[in-house]
Amino acid sequence: MMKKALAFIMAMVMVLALVACGNSNTDPQTAPDDTTPTETTAFKIGGTGPLTGGAAIYGNAVKNAAEIAVEEINALGGIQFELRFEDDQHDAEKALNAYNTLKGWGMQISLGSVTSKPCEATATEAYKDRIFSLTPSASSTAVLVLDSDADPVTYKDNMFQMCFTDPNQGSASAQYIFDKGLATKVAVIWKSDDVYSKGIYDTFTAKAAELGIEIVSDTTFADGNDTDFSVQIADAQSKGAELVFLPMYYTPASLIFAQAKAAGFAPKWFGVDGMDGILTLEGFETSLAEGVILLTPFNADSGDAKTAAFVAKYQEKFGEVPTQFAADAYDCVYAYYQALTAAGCTTDMSAADICSAMIKQFTTMTFDGLTGEGMTWDATGAVTKSPKGMVIENGAYVGLD
């Protein structure tokens, strides 16, 4: 008994020693810089996102693209950035830990969090700490809202989004289907434990009801139950759906396409911005996604010179084609670059001072990026950019108007 307890204590001491080493190594970094303000020459920009675990693709895309943008901007010689991106494993608790780590490091401006729920948690803190945040991809409205009980609803003044909000996408999709007369009988397959999917689903169904589009089949899937879609597909098929709306990311969508094909079901498919990336999946047979319509702000294949340069650089560095997440993150860093330059911010300013300057800038400026031209932000923090309708033809996006 004694020996066991002893061995345990020894082991714990080892762990704690490791923890202590960890702390002592990061201490020089976490020491506040305000004693030597002139020494820092770069803006400290931080962000959190899932770099490990099931949602790791999204976090890594954002991190990689932000690194590229920071490198490019630093090479210009003007404003300098120092980027630190921490893992939050798509979890509010870890996201707050990651946020606090960044705060200790002396983060001046933030990229918020990559996914919605963690971003809600970090945004609340960033609001209190007066650190300006611009999230590339946390698209739920709850990220922006300060108090939903207030009448009218109040918004966090320092929280901005680079992606459009989920409600926007849902109603835009329904409107698009109605305007183009794509279908009158629609099936929806959505992810029942995902904020993103649920947010789009809610506004899509509301708008569809308003426009008289009939939703004949409404089925879901969830984490850990996201491999077999035979039932959902059979339901849509048997109820005669002409179009299937897929408010989800591309990983489950790729499985749905494959299984629908095996079942001999070929409706029109309609996706949202999370669908972008499906063509870049290694080994994916692009013919499965033939004819898929999606609303996306970003197109890696577009002839646009800026996009081409970004895609080439991303591919060279990370061996993958960037998705919309990456493009949004790249835009975020450039938006910061533009805003900081215009506001004349300097690296010795406190986070709170930068925050008020950024609020002024973002609500007034217009920004051209990879994911849209002439983007503006309103006081709530939501971006105004128009989703582009795309259709996949011969394994590439073709613009729809």
Partner 1 sequence: MTVKRISKNTRTTFITYGFVAAAFAVLQVLNSSGDLSPLLSGMLIPICAWVVMAISLNLTVGILGELSLGHAGFMSVGAFMGTTAAIALQRSVESAPLRLAIAIVVGAVFAAIVGFLIGIPVLRLNGDYLAIVTLAFGEIIKSIFTNLYVGIDERGFHMSLLKDRTDLLPGGKLIIAGPMGIGGVERISTFIAGFVLIMICLIVIFNLVNSRAGRAIMALRDNRIAAESVGISVTKYKMMAFVTSAAMAGGAGALFALNYSTVVANKFDFNNSILVLVFVVLGGLGNMLGSIIAAAALTILPEALRQFADYRMLVYAIVLILVMLGTNNPQIKNAFATCFDWLKGVFRKQSAKVSGERKEV
Partner 2 sequence: MSFLNFLISGISLGSIYAIIALGYTMVYGIAKMLNFAHGDVIMVGAYICFFAVSRYSLPPLVGILVAMVICTLLGIIIEKLAYKPLRAAPSLAVLITAIGVSYFLQNAAQLLWSSNPKVFPMFFQRMVSKTTPDGTVQIVPVNGIDLFGGELRVSYVTIVTILVCLIIMLALTAFTGNTKMGKAMRACSEDKDAARLMGINVNTTISVTFAIGSGLAAIAGVLLCSAYPTLVPTTGSMPGIKAFTAAVFGGIGSIPGALLGGLMLGVIEIMAKAYVSTQLSDAIVFAVLIIVLLVKPTGLLGRPVREKV
Binding stretches for partner 2 (CB under 8 A): 52-54, 56-57, 60, 192, 219-225, 227-228, 230-232, 234-235, 238, 251-252, 254-255, 258, 262-264, 280-285, 320
Smallest distance from partner 1 to CB 371, Å: 25
Minimum CB distance to partner 1 smaller for 121 or for 292: 121
Q: Give, in degrees to the nearest 5, the angle at Cα 150 between 144 and 151.
A: 110
Partner touching 263 among partner 1, partner 2, none, CB below 5 to 8 Å by kind:
partner 2
- CA-nearest of 248, 244, 145, 159 to 195 is 248
CA distance 185 to 68: 44
Cα torsion 143, 149, 151, 156: sign: negative
Question: Using CB distances below 5 to 8 A depending on partner kind, what does residue 320 bind out of partner 2, partner 1, none?
Answer: partner 2
Nearest residue (CB) to partner 1, 120 versus 331: 120
Q: Looking at beta carbons only, is 140 or 161 nearer to partner 1?
A: 140
| Distance from C-alpha of 71 to C-alpha of 330, rounded to nearest angstrom | 11
Structure tokens that stand for 236 in this block: 């849509």
Task: Spell 167-188 as b/e; 16+ CB within 10 A means b.
Answer: bbbbbbbbbbbbeeeebebbbb
The pair phi, psi for residue 201, each rounded to 5°, is: -55, -45
The amino acid that residue 366 corresponds to is: T
User: Which of 117, 385 has the CB closer to partner 1?
Assistant: 117
CA distance 399 to 389: 6
Tokens standing for residue 44: 């400290």
Given the rule CB under 8 A, which residues bind partner 1?
Answer: 3-8, 10-12, 14-16, 18-19, 22-23, 25-26, 30, 51-52, 86-87, 91-94, 96-101, 103-104, 117, 120-121, 124, 140, 142, 145, 147-149, 191-195, 197-199, 222-223
How many whole angstroms separate alpha carbon 139 and alpha carbon 313?
26
In whole angstroms, the minimum distance from the beta carbon of 224 to partner 2 comes to: 4
56 binds, among partner 2, partner 1, none (CB under 5 to 8 A by kind): partner 2
Q: Which does 399 bind (CB under 5 to 8 A by kind): partner 2, partner 1, none?
A: none
Partner from partner 2, partner 1, none contacting 79, C-beta within 5 to 8 A by type: none
Whichever of 137 and 361 has its CB closer to partner 2, that residue is 137
Shortest distance, CB of residue 172 to partner 1, whole angstroms? 20
> Shortest gap between Cβ of 328 and partner 1 (angstroms)?
22
Minimum CB–partner distance for residue 247 and partner 1 (Å): 12
Nearer to partner 2, 182 or 263 (CB): 263
Q: How far is CA 399 from each of CA 124, 178, 301, 383, rounded to the nearest angstrom?
A: 38, 18, 11, 22
Measure the CA–CA gap between 198 and 196, rounded to whole angstroms: 6
287 CB-near residues (< 8 Å, 6+ apart):
395
Specify the residue, 94 or 103, whose C-beta has the smaller distance to partner 2.
Answer: 94
305 binds, among partner 1, partner 2, none (CB under 5 to 8 A by kind): none
Rounded to whole angstroms, the Cα distance separating 350 from 109 reads 10
